[in-house]
A = this chain, B = another copy of it.
Amino acid sequence: MTHDPSAIPGYDYGTGRVSRSPVTLEALAQLKKAADLTEEDQRYLSLAGEILADQAEDMVSAWRARIGANEHLARWFQKPDGQPDDRYKAAVKPRFVQWVIDTCTRPYDQAWLDYQEEIGLRHTPEKKNATDRASAPPLVPLRYVVAFTSVVITTTREFLGNKGHSPEQIEHMQAAWTKAVLLSVALWSRPYTKPGLW
């Protein structure tokens, strides 16, 4: 595969442009237990990564279409004149696609943890728009991040079923994906949360 994610503009995974997460690796281990994300799940995530790699762009396109069809979701990616910020959306897309692949294939280590914090920050006023010098609203509200997670979880099942795996394998992968996505969202919620309540 010639795909080189480090060539994606603004994809700062593992670089010094990403700050260290305030969450410790010990706290991450506890959070993984809370989500029941096991070693077996991580093996099924690897398999899911093989299945989803060449479908990840279609997945993101489907999610984007749904966002675009709902004004209350689309507006967080619009210019001040209320038109879609196509340059901004185009810049974000390959990183969103890479997130699908990373969620399945990356070890959940310090670099992964740091980048989850970065993703969270990029949805809040602290860093929204900054990477792409966009002029969209400075936020994606937490309620939409959490609620839309159900779309990200439920629609993935069809893509996992596109390569001839058994119902049991698909079910294992779907469960592992669910756990991994909710682990990620739990980490993204940190900068949204009142001090002491996260």
The one of B125, B147, B187 in contact with A35, judged by C-beta atoms closer than 8 angstroms, is: B147
Q: So how many copies of this chain end up in the complex?
A: 2
A157 vs B168: C-alpha distance when bound (angstroms): 13
For A147, the chain B residues whose CB sits under 8 A away are 31-32, 34-35, 182-183, 186
Contacting pair A31 B144 (CB below 8 A): yes
The one of B31, B146, B171 in contact with A186, judged by C-beta atoms closer than 8 angstroms, is: B146
Supply 21 A–B pairs (Cβ within 8 Å), ascending by A.
Answer: A30-B70, A31-B143, A34-B147, A34-B148, A35-B151, A36-B151, A37-B150, A139-B196, A142-B186, A142-B189, A142-B197, A143-B186, A146-B182, A146-B186, A147-B186, A149-B182, A153-B178, A154-B175, A154-B179, A157-B171, A193-B194
A190 vs B144: C-alpha distance when bound (angstroms): 11
Interface string of A100-123 (1 = CB under 8 A from B): 000000000000000000000000
